[in-house]
Amino acid sequence: MSRGDGSKLRPAGKQTRKDQDLPLKLLVGSALAASGYYTRINVELSATSARGLADVTDVDVLGTRYDISFSSTTIAVSCKSGESKGLSPAREIFYLRGVLDYVGAGNGVVAFSRKRVPAHLRDLGRRLNVLVLSGSEVEAWCNALTNGVPNPDYYLESQYEEYLRTWSPTYMQGLAEYLRTDYWFHFDFRNLQNVVGHLKKTAPHITGKEPWHSLVVLDTAAHFCLTLFDLCRQVRLMGLSAVSETTAAYLFGGAPSFRARRDLYSRVHQLLSSTGVLSPNGPTLPPLEPSYTAALSELVMHFIDRPHAAVLVLQILQDMFWRTLGAVGVPPSDDKNFLAAEKLTQDLIDFLKVATGASWAPKV
CATH label of the domain that carries residue 148: 3.40.1350.10
pLDDT at 50: 66
Tallying the residues shown for the chain, one arrives at: 364
Same domain, 218 and 83: no
Whether residue 58 is contained in a domain is answered as yes
**Residues paired with residue 58 on neighbouring β-strands, in sequence order:** 44
- The crossing angle, in degrees rounded to 10, of helices 243-251 and 211-238 is 120
Same domain, 47 and 128: yes
Last residue of a domain, one of 155, 179, 214: 155
Distance CA 76, CA 182 (A): 18
pLDDT at 2: 43
Last residue of a domain, one of 107, 131, 155: 155
Same domain, 65 and 142: yes
pLDDT at 84: 78
Same domain, 137 and 194: no
pLDDT at 294: 96
Same domain, 89 and 217: no
Report whether 171 contacts 202 (CB < 8 A).
Answer: yes
The alpha carbon of residue 53 and the mean position of all alpha carbons in its chain are separated, in whole angstroms, by 24
Distance CA 74, CA 76 (A): 7
User: Residue 215: left (phi > 0), alpha (psi -120 to 50), or beta?
Assistant: alpha
Whether residue 312 is contained in a domain is answered as yes
Report whether 149 contacts 35 (CB < 8 A).
Answer: yes
Distance CA 80, CA 2 (A): 9
Distance CA 123, CA 58 (A): 25
Distance CA 85, CA 206 (A): 48
pLDDT at 186: 85
The stretches in the chain having pLDDT less than 50 are: 1-16, 53-54
Same domain, 86 and 198: no
Same domain, 102 and 200: no
pLDDT at 51: 56
The amino acid that residue 234 corresponds to is Q
Report in angstroms the alpha-carbon separations of 76 from 43, 160, 183, 221, 342. Answer: 10, 19, 17, 22, 28
Whether residue 100 is contained in a domain is answered as yes
> Where in the sequence is the domain holding 28, given as residue range(s)?
22-155
Whether residue 166 is contained in a domain is answered as no
Whether residue 252 is contained in a domain is answered as no
Whether residue 345 is contained in a domain is answered as yes
pLDDT at 108: 96
Can you give the pTM of this predicted structure? Answer: 0.89
pLDDT at 52: 55
DSSP state of 358: -
Same domain, 194 and 147: no
Domain count of the chain?
A: 2
Same domain, 28 and 89: yes
Phi then psi for residue 131, to 5 deg, are: -80, 125
Whether residue 321 is contained in a domain is answered as yes
Whether residue 274 is contained in a domain is answered as no
User: Residue 163: left (phi > 0), alpha (psi -120 to 50), or beta?
Assistant: alpha
